[in-house]
Structure 1
Amino acid sequence: MAEARKTETRAEKELRILEYWKSNQIYSRHKEKNASGPLFCFYEGPPTANGRPGIHHVLSRVYKDIYIRFRGLQGYHIPRKAGWDCHGLPVEREVEKELGIKAKSEIETDVGLEKFNDLCRKSVLKYVDSWNEFSERLGFWVDLDDPYFTMDNQYIEGVWGLFKKIHEKGLLYQGYKVVPFDPVMGATMSDAEVALGYKTVEDPSFTVRFAIKDEAFNKKFGEVSFLVWTTTPWTLPSNVALALHPEADYVLFEVETGDDILAPAGETAKASSAAGAKKEKGTASGKKSASSKKSKNSAAKKSTKAAKSHAEAPQAEPAKNNAKGQVERFICARDLLSDVLRTAQGTEKVLAEFKGVDLLGLDYAPLFDFAISDLQQKAHFTIGADFVTMDTGTGIVHIAPAYGADDLEVGQSHGLPVVAAVGLDGKFSAGPYAGA
């Protein structure tokens, strides 16, 4: 026997030890030995048994087993309760694939909730035997004969009971939070789930114009538009503010527009509001990451400071067209002017320079009106934000609190409304683009 053991492989040794444990009831005897010891309770964080176990499940089970074995050696009595996770998107998605469901609404219209729930119950236990064999082969000591199921009413009522206690203590509140959302699954996603598939890609970026509608400013400088850069044009109908960095330098310049520089002017969606589109790598929007410092100051509140600055600036002549094309006036960050103009670089005429703080509180015309007809809060004016960067874009960031963590935070600090023009299906919910 000793000679045979010297030549056995690791796999053969594992099987021999497992058979020894089983034939001699080592696990049961271990529990009996520690039955009178201090309690150390272990409820397994349950896997979902609608999919087969894989190599990635090994490590977590090994960690669990090592720790509770160590506690067992210390004399603790350990109920090792196995469990099965019967809820969540993996279960629903598996059944949806089998039924060919492409939208959550089809569950009610084509299948029925009762039938769908029954199929989910059956699906969640589809591979229980495979999981049990997997656990035994790993030598994972856990009570598989009396597991708990998260779909049992007792378990569900226990969770609701905890929520009730939390509510009674006044620890629940309702508010807004920007989170990743999967329109196919009809559910939010964790940052970790999104990070698994995150990659840098080349995507179109757009520069759009927002016409300033401030009587004092327009009287001084004529018709002027802010140039705003974005990689998420679908959020523009939800725009409620424009953010500038209070300490950055901005210029008001005049330039001849053309198809290769700027698109035709227009204040509504019917006329093109794009000042050009180009390919950009990444998903930047001229903002720092969510971990960057957020603007907490009150510089963005509407005041007379901007008007005073305008009064000190020289009077500008109204823009005039010439034989070459239409002349228009825009504002962008001074350091990004050459990037904004592209092929028109060198043809611009700078009329005035400002600090960002001098441009705060100016009203402007929204690009779209179908999502903002019933707003109860003031919107569409310039605010200050420290997360605006001068690395790319125009130095002016469009703010849509419904679709960005930074946007929501700065929007809440300025009392801006939250406008969600896109529904949970990932399509516009109203207006001329409804369903698109």
Structure 2
Amino acid sequence: MFQPVNPKQNFPELEKQILGFWKENQTFQKSIDQRPVGSDYIFYDGPPFATGLPHYGHILAGTMKDVVPRYWTMKGKRVERRFGWDCHGLPVEYEVEKELGLSGRKDIVEKYGVNEFCEKCRSIVLRYTNEWESTVERMERWVDFKNDYKTMDPTFMESIWWVFGQLWDKGLIYEGHKSMHVCPRCVTPLSNFEVTLGYKEVSDLSVIWKFKVVGQENTYLLAWTTTPWSSVSTMGLSIGPEFDYVKVKVGDETIIFAKQRLEFILKGIEEYEIIEEFKGAKLVGTAYEHLVDFFNELPEVKENSKVYHVYAGDYVEVTEGTGIVTINGAYGDIDMQAAKKNGLPIVMDVDMDGHFNALAKTYQCLFVKEAESKLVEDLEKENKVWRKERYKHSYPHCWRCDSPLLSYATSSWFVKVEAIKDRMIANNNQIHWVPDHVGKGRFADWLNNARDWCISRNRFWGTPLPVWRSEDGEVLCV
């Protein structure tokens, strides 16, 4: 019934024979043409960047992407599979910056020119298309390269504008000022998903600051931070009102912190005296002296009687730190909410490129991570540091250039994902997932925690948002 098969096969040669047979007989195209129009199965395939060569991850994902269309083809569906190229975005810009020896947004604007930079991006985006086509063909994946699409094509960008317009008309687009993760090197915000791509274990400088209590001699509130640079423009402190706090006499000084952190705060100190225990609520309203006096003449600080006081916060924890945390609405989502709730000003003393600006005076032009050591050293001399040490924790980095990200308050355009979250969760429950735990577990968890999606970037090479703003502030989507 079957012809005998030689058990000594040359698999690379056999592979070439199969590929040759498919090509000669146009097998892939026939698998489409033989299925009737109207019996389509639509398969969306996220396009790769062609500025780099394919690697194992692409091959693995490509194999899975090939299995699904083949299955539905065998079920009688017409499955057209146009290959695409992701031509826009930060990965392309980053490659061009390296090639031109540029370092970030400022260099692009001042040294090279935006138009010239975009044209250079355009020239490299299809650099490795031949290598991609060869690799995809060798892995025996069926896709249509002849009718490929490119995200930089005007027709594709117009389709993005159409989607944006649909969301706009439904009231699902807004411009918001929020604390987001930004890359200081790329000088742009990142989406929540992009942030999750770059977490790393790092050892950062942590500091326990001493904030002197107004009207109490040699008495200090101890606040812990793993981002000492952000403490410069701190406008308030938070405590947990239900937690137990202590006043402890150490030498000539009295320090205040959460009772549960006693061992952590006083490690290495043998002689001390607990002189008072009380609930955190007693500290609310306590005035203190700030670490620096840089902002005392700023109108928003000088005219605000609420600055440099202690406030209650339901987010304060006593499992680490001191049970007292700083409030700086400029550099953290929780902090921004606390600042707004308590009427505290938001002072931006750092630009999006991660360098202190003129408001920071002594530290102007220094990158925040570089300034930390100098800041701590300066404040140690003024007796405002209880202790400093390295702290190992997981911290987000830019998925493309590997720079540490900053939490930063900035304006961006968002899609109201939270407004449609319930619908997405309901639809997800109707999907037959294989394996089941992916849809009911990982993906469901992601949906349950989905937040509004930042879709704008402060960069150059990409699809511009179809939003126009007049001089009098009117905003139109065209």
Partner of 1:285: none
Distance 1:351 1:427 in 2: 43
Of stretches 128-137 and 161-170 in structure 1, the one that deviates more from structure 2 is: 161-170
Q: Is the 8 A contact 1:247 1:356 kept in 2?
A: yes
Q: Report the structure number with the largest CA radius of gyration.
A: 1
Distance of 1:191 and 1:43 partners within structure 2: 22
Runs of 4+ in 1 over 6 A off after TM superposition: none
Question: What is the DSSP-based 3-state SS (H/G/I as helix, E as strand, rest coil) of the residue aligned with 2:232?
Answer: helix
Contact 2:205–2:228 (8 Å) recurs in 1 = no
User: Which residue of structure 2 aligns with residue 306 of structure 1?
Assistant: none
Contact kept in structure 2, 1:43 and 1:81, CA below 8 Å: no
Per the TM alignment, residue 147 of structure 1 is displaced from its structure 2 partner at its CA by 1.2
Deviates more, 1:237-246 or 1:409-418: 409-418
Tell me the distance in 2 between the aligned counterparts of 1:403 and 1:146: 46
The match for 2:355 among 427, 431, 436 is 427
Does 1:411 find its partner at 2:339? yes
Quickly say closer, same or farther: Cα 1:245–1:81, change in 2 above 3 A.
same
Q: Contact between 1:332 and 1:396, CA under 8 Å: does it hold in 2?
A: yes
TM-fit CA distance, 1:44: 2.7
Provide the aligned C-alpha RMSD in A. Answer: 2.4
What is the CA distance between 1:190 and its match in structure 2?
4.9
Shift in alpha-carbon separation, 1:8–1:103, aligned structure 2, 3 A: same
Q: Which residue of 2 aligns with 1:360?
A: 284
Q: 1:349 aligns with which of 263, 273, 285?
A: 273
- Correspondence for 1:86: 87
- The residue type equivalent to 1:151 in the other structure is M
The farther-off stretch of 121-130 and 200-209 is: 200-209
**What is aligned with 1:379?**
307
Residue identity in the other structure for 1:81? R
Match of 1:335 among 247, 257, 260: 260
Q: 1:273 — aligned with what?
A: none
Aligned to 2:413: none
Aligned length: 359
Tell me which residue corresponds to 1:48: 49
Secondary structure at the residue paired with 1:174?
strand
- The aligned residue for residue 399 of structure 1 is 327
Per the alignment, in what secondary structure is the counterpart of residue 133 of structure 2? helix
Residue aligning to 1:234: 229
TM-score (normalizing by structure 1)? 0.75
Give the Cα–Cα distance (whole angstroms) in 1 for the partners of residues 112 and 149 of structure 2: 28
CA distance in 1, matches of 2:261, 2:53: 54
Q: Residues 334 and 43 (structure 1 numbering): CA distance in 2 closer, same or farther, change over 3 Å?
A: closer
Cα pair distance change 1:88/1:231, threshold 3 Å: same
Whole-angstrom CA distance in 1 between matches of 2:213 and 2:202: 33
Percent sequence identity over matched residues? Answer: 37
Unaligned regions of 5+ residues in structure 2, if any?
367-478
| Contact 2:241/2:313, CA 8 A, preserved across alignment | yes
Distance 2:213 2:354 in 1: 31
Distance 1:356 1:47 in 2: 53
Distance 1:152 1:354, change over 3 A: same
Please state how far the C-alpha of 1:3 moved relative to its aligned partner.
Answer: 5.7
Q: Could you tell me which amino acid in structure 1 is paired with residue 281 of structure 2?
A: V
Tell me by how many angstroms 1:355 deviates. Answer: 0.4
Distance 2:118 2:100 in 1: 13
Which of the numbers 240, 245, 251 marks the counterpart of 1:250? Answer: 245
2:139 is equivalent to residue 144 of structure 1: no
Q: Which whole-Å deviations, capped at 9, do the CAs of 1:237-290 have from their partners, x for residues lacking one?
A: 23122111122111123332xxxxxxxxxxxxxxxxxxxxxxxxxxxxxxxxxx
Quote how far apart the aligned CAs of 1:86 are.
0.7
Correspondence for 1:135: 136
Q: 1:22-33 to 2 correspondence within 5 Å?
A: 22-33=23-34
Please give the alpha-carbon distance, in whole angstroms, between the structure 2 residues aligned to 1:210 and 1:249.
19
Q: Distance in 2 between matches of 1:176 and 1:366?
A: 26
Larger displacement relative to structure 2 (118-127 or 382-391): 382-391
- Matching residue's letter, 1:136: E
In the alignment, residue 245 of structure 1 is paired with which amino acid?
Answer: G
Deviates more, 1:12-21 or 1:127-136: 12-21
| 1:401 alignment partner, SS class | coil
Q: Which moved more, 1:84-93 or 1:421-430?
A: 421-430
Question: 1:225 is matched with which residue?
Answer: 220
> Quick one: distance in 2 between partners of 1:396 and 1:409?
17
Higher strand share: 2
Q: CA deviation at 1:55?
A: 1.3
Q: Is the 8 A contact 1:338 1:345 kept in 2?
A: no
Query: Compared with structure 1, are the counterparts of its residues 167 and 197 closer, same or farther at alpha carbon in structure 2 (3 Å cutoff)?
Result: closer
Shift of 1:222: 4.6
Distance 1:353 1:92 in 2: 57
Secondary structure of the 1:410 match is helix
- When structure 1 is superposed on structure 2, of 49-58 and 370-379 the one drifting more is 370-379
Give the equivalent residue in structure 1 for 2:414.
none
Deviation per residue, 1:383-416 (Å, 9 max, x gap): 2233323233222111223323332343344444
Conserved 8 A contact 1:43-1:82: no
Unaligned runs of 5+ in 1: 257-326
Q: Counterparts of 2:347 and 2:64 in 1: how far apart (Å)?
A: 46
